[in-house]
Amino acid sequence: MSEPRQRLGSDKDRSTQRTPPERPMRIDILTIFPEMFEPILSTSIPGRAREFGATDYQVHDIRRWADNKHRKVDDRPFGGGPGMVLMCQPLVDCVEAVEAMDDRIPTRILLTPQGEPLQQERVGTLARMERLLLIAGHYEGIDERAIEALSPLRLSIGDFVVSGGELPAMLLVDAIARLQPSVLGHELSAAEDSFSVTDQSGSPLLDCPHYTRPRSWRGREVPEVLLGGDHAAIDEWRLQQRRERTRRMRPDLTHRDP
């Protein structure tokens, strides 16, 4: 269950940030496991975005477009090999039918291990689109001719293997939903995220450490500077922590001019 609208956001931005967008961003999701999505789309930030009227999710079962009574949408690969291949006909028919359900032309996205690794900058761009169509594969592959015909943006969630494109699609929805205006309770949270704050050369910085009560726990103390109330000193300490953590954990994030 999501919180009622009135409780979203802080008191001070209620008057300026309460208004839902004119038309929700529409996200169509094509999958052979439609039942996987509802729990995620109705919970937490994606659910809150939907309740707020910022997003509209429509999940479609590719099998509905199978042209045979067994609802078969895959077949064995030409040339042999393991696994099954999603056929052109059900997928492309499904895309065309779903696209016709709304007057906006969507940005087509295929979640695939062969895609561009997803990064926050891309999420930010997609969050501003008025309509997205996500294709979650769940096979050894999709017939290459369908991919050519659809020419989707191909996105990967990173260099590891999951069993299908469904979780990657949900992850992308979550990343996009939380960037919709007024969706996060605290508007500043998104702006202060790891990967959103940058150093002077524009490279993203990881987040700083956080502490709450008690001040002492099992002999571990909260850093003194956070208790002093000197906000300039706190900001400086946090920035320094971010730089150190980024250098240690993610040296690849630091941009170097040649």
Nearest distance from C-beta of residue 43 to ligand 9D3, angstroms: 21
The yes or no reply on residue 91 touching ligand 9D3 (CB under 6 A) is no
* Distance from C-alpha of 54 to C-alpha of 44, rounded to nearest angstrom: 14
- What angle is formed at CA 127 by the lines to CA 121 and CA 131, rounded to 5 degrees? 135
Strand, coil or helix: 198: strand
The yes or no reply on residue 164 touching ligand 9D3 (CB under 6 A) is yes
Given the residues 21, 34, 77, 113, select the one marked as catalytic.
Answer: 113
* Distance from C-alpha of 86 to C-alpha of 43, rounded to nearest angstrom: 30
Tell me whether residue 108 is one of the annotated catalytic residues.
Answer: no
39 or 81, CB closer to ligand 9D3?
81
The yes or no reply on residue 161 touching ligand 9D3 (CB under 6 A) is yes
The yes or no reply on residue 137 touching ligand 9D3 (CB under 6 A) is yes
Tell me whether residue 207 is one of the annotated catalytic residues.
Answer: no
- b/e for 88-114, b at 16 or more Cβ within 10 A? bebbbebbeebbeebeeebebbbbbbe
Residue with tokens 């309770």: 185
Burial class of residue 22 (count of CB atoms within 10 Å of its CB; 0-12, 13-18, 19+)? exposed
The yes or no reply on residue 112 touching ligand 9D3 (CB under 6 A) is yes
* Identity of the amino acid at 242: R
Q: Where are the alpha helices (DSSP H) in the chain?
A: 14-17, 38-41, 44-52, 88-99, 120-127, 144-150, 166-177, 187-192, 231-249
The yes or no reply on residue 77 touching ligand 9D3 (CB under 6 A) is no
Site for ligand 9D3 in 198-217 (CB under 6 A): none
Among 53, 113, 124, 181, binds ligand 9D3 (CB under 6 A): 113
Taking CB under 6 A as the binding criterion, the range among 14-22, 40-48, 105-113, 241-249 that sits at the site for ligand 9D3 is 105-113
The yes or no reply on residue 165 touching ligand 9D3 (CB under 6 A) is yes
* # chain residues binding ligand 9D3, by CB under 6 A: 15
Q: Which residues bind ligand 9D3 (CB under 6 A)?
A: 111-113, 137, 140, 156-158, 160-165, 168
